Amino acid sequence: MPKLFWDTEDGQHPSDVVSSSSSGTVAMEHDVSPEMHAKRILPMAGYVGINASAEKMPEKYEKQLAGRAVTLNERKYGQPVADLFSAVIDAMTSLHVPVASVDSPNGVITSDWIRKGENSINTPNMIGYTRHRFVVRVYRAGAELGHATRLEVHVIGQLYESSKWVDKKLVRNVSEELIVSVEEQLAAMQQRGSAGQ
C-alpha cells in the first residue's frame, strides 16, 4: 500500500525545498530544466500587476496586437488586481480555454488559439472556420479613471480562407462569455469571503 503521509524527513529530496526570492515569487528548487522551472514559479498576490500601467500595454503584447484584427471589450471592477487576475485564470480554466502565458507582474494572460466551426466532423473541410486568441490585461487605473481595477479583453480573430488563416475581426462577441465567467468567479470569491467572516 503506498504511503499517504511521510515523517518529517521521509520522502524529501535535498533539493525539494521551498524558497522565496527577492522578486516576490515562491518556487520549488529541483533538478529541472530552466523552462520547467519558470513554469513552476507561483505569483504572490502583492506582486500581481506591479508593472502594469494604465497608459499602455507592455511592449511585447503591443507587438502581438499591432496590425492584427483585434476587438476590445473593457470592464471596471472594485476588487483588487490580484483577485481579478485570479478570476480571469479560473474563468479560462472553467471554459477550457488553453492558457498560453501568465505574466503576473504585467497583469497579462494570453490564450492559445481557440478554433470554432460549424462543419461536420466527418468532412475535413475548413471553409468557414474561425479561430481566436485572448490577450487579457488587468491593471489598477489611476485617479483619472476612478481608481477602479480595469479588465481589457483583446481578441485576435482569424478566418480560414484560401487554404490559410487570415486576420479578420470576428462577428461573434467571443469575449462576452469569458467576461461573464470572470464575474461569476468574482462573485464566488466574495461569497467565500463572506462565509469565512
- For 36-61, write each residue's pLDDT tens digit: 444 444 456 667 777 776 678 889 99
Do residue 33 and residue 60 come from a single domain?
Answer: no
For residue 36, is it within any domain?
yes
Indicate the pTM of the whole model: 0.70
Do residue 54 and residue 74 come from a single domain?
Answer: yes
H-helix or E-strand containing 194? helix 175-195
Do residue 31 and residue 66 come from a single domain?
Answer: no
For the chain, the domain total comes to: 2
Going by pLDDT thresholds of 50, 70 and 90, the confidence category of residue 175 is: very high
* Predicted pLDDT at 127: 61
Do residue 22 and residue 80 come from a single domain?
Answer: no
For residue 141, is it within any domain?
yes
Q: Please give the average per-residue pLDDT across 105-130, as a whole number.
A: 74
Do residue 39 and residue 119 come from a single domain?
Answer: no
> Above 50 in pLDDT, residue 173?
yes
* Predicted pLDDT at 176: 96
d(CA 76, CA 150): 4
For residue 1, is it within any domain?
no
Do residue 124 and residue 108 come from a single domain?
Answer: yes
Angle at 92 between CA 91 and CA 94, to 5 degrees: 65
User: When comparing pLDDT for 81 and 24, which is higher?
Assistant: 81
Do residue 85 and residue 168 come from a single domain?
Answer: yes
Do residue 177 and residue 141 come from a single domain?
Answer: yes
For residue 84, is it within any domain?
yes
For residue 2, is it within any domain?
no
Going by pLDDT thresholds of 50, 70 and 90, the confidence category of residue 121 is: very low
Do residue 30 and residue 60 come from a single domain?
Answer: no
For residue 145, is it within any domain?
yes
* Predicted pLDDT at 196: 66
d(CA 84, CA 56): 19
- CATH number of residue 156's parent domain: 3.30.530.50
Domain of 17 in residue numbering reads as 7-43
CB atoms within 10 A of CB 130: 19
Do residue 28 and residue 67 come from a single domain?
Answer: no
For residue 71, is it within any domain?
yes
* Predicted pLDDT at 146: 63
d(CA 106, CA 48): 7
Which cell numbers hold the place of 146?
476612478
Do residue 38 and residue 120 come from a single domain?
Answer: no
Do residue 156 and residue 188 come from a single domain?
Answer: yes
d(CA 186, CA 151): 13
> Above 90 in pLDDT, residue 141?
no
Taking the alpha carbons at both ends of the chain, their separation in whole angstroms is: 40
